[in-house]
Structure 1
């Protein structure tokens, strides 16, 4: 899935003097407060981190409450959905006018009716709401389906995504992964068959050309032979 990245960051965490005896706990608490929130500094939502304290010596900052500045080196896992990226999520609610999805267990997404391609028709089958494809009868989207969709926009404040199922490479992941592989295999087979047919036509063409050339040589030989015969007869 797109929209995930790992970044290396050099950070400075400011710790209150009252936490000077438990600096490690204070640092983890400070970083923990940033989890699942969008950060402009990181340009993404912090999902996880791995911290390495570079020095046990902290710099005391001047002020009424002299905070301690602790330097860190951290590896950050960030979620940064951008327009036209492909994301994956689980359908949690489905209606005639929209599909609601949860991405990575915390970010909600909605795909409205105008962003669902025409091949998907809303149906209620055996009491269950479903979007079924009219082009591929096994391609269905219902509650619990893991889908792949395109990002249209991302609200950084409430972590809400607006998505689209208009592109043909979006829909049920289970169906896409199976059938895109089959389509690729079919395309490769078709390409090989066409190349084989092309080689056959070339060989046939070459054969005709060779036969034509041989035939021409035979004609020339016969013409020369006829001329020699006429000269012999004239001399007689």
Structure 2
């Protein structure tokens, strides 16, 4: 799927002195806090990481609380869709003017009325909302349908 990339990152994680005897646990906790949130530094959403500690040396930072910085290298799996990328998602909600899609199980996207092809018309059949094609009788978009779509912005 487009929109996924692996990035090599050299990071410095700042650890509180109380965690000095459990540095690896503190590093993993800090990296876990980056998961499934958009990060401007990486220009995307961090989905996974693989950590490598190249050395056992840490540098104490001056200040009121003497945190120490641990340098590490990590491979990050990032999700960062760009315009005109092809993505795939599952329809979770339909409305008369929009289709709501979940991409990769966590990211929400909305396809608005002006971006839905003209051949699809909104209908309510047997109490369920669908977008039915006027040219192909059995071609329908309903909740649970997997859609491929282009990212507009």
Q: TM-score, normalised on structure 1?
A: 0.62
Uncovered stretches (5+) of structure 2, i.e. residues with no partner: none
Counterpart for residue 39 of structure 1: 39
Counterpart for residue 26 of structure 1: 26
Q: Going by fraction, where is strand more abundant, 1 or 2?
A: 2
Separation in 1, partners of 2:43, 2:67: 26
Q: Bigger radius of gyration, 1 or 2? A: 1
How far apart are residue 118 of structure 1 and its match? Answer: 0.2
Q: In angstroms, what is the RMSD of aligned CA positions?
A: 1.2
Question: SS in structure 1 opposite 2:18?
Answer: helix
How far apart are residue 95 of structure 1 and its match? Answer: 1.8
Separation in 1, partners of 2:4, 2:136: 31
Counterpart for residue 54 of structure 1: 54
Structure 1 residue 85 corresponds to structure 2 residue 79: no
Taking the TM superposition and a 5 Å limit, the aligned residue runs for 1:38-187 are 38-153=38-153
Q: Deviations over 1:56-85 (max 9, x none)?
A: 221112222221111111110101011111
Separation in 1, partners of 2:149, 2:13: 37
Separation in 1, partners of 2:53, 2:137: 56
Question: SS in structure 1 opposite 2:20?
Answer: helix
Separation in 2, partners of 1:64, 1:90: 50
Q: Going by fraction, where is helix more abundant, 1 or 2?
A: 1
How far apart are residue 25 of structure 1 and its match? Answer: 0.7
Compare relative contact order (CA 8 Å, sep 6+) and give the higher one, 1 or 2.
2
Question: SS in structure 2 opposite 1:138?
Answer: coil
Structure 1 residue 11 corresponds to structure 2 residue 11: yes
Separation in 2, partners of 1:120, 1:132: 5
Q: Which runs of 4+ in 1 moved over 3 A?
A: none
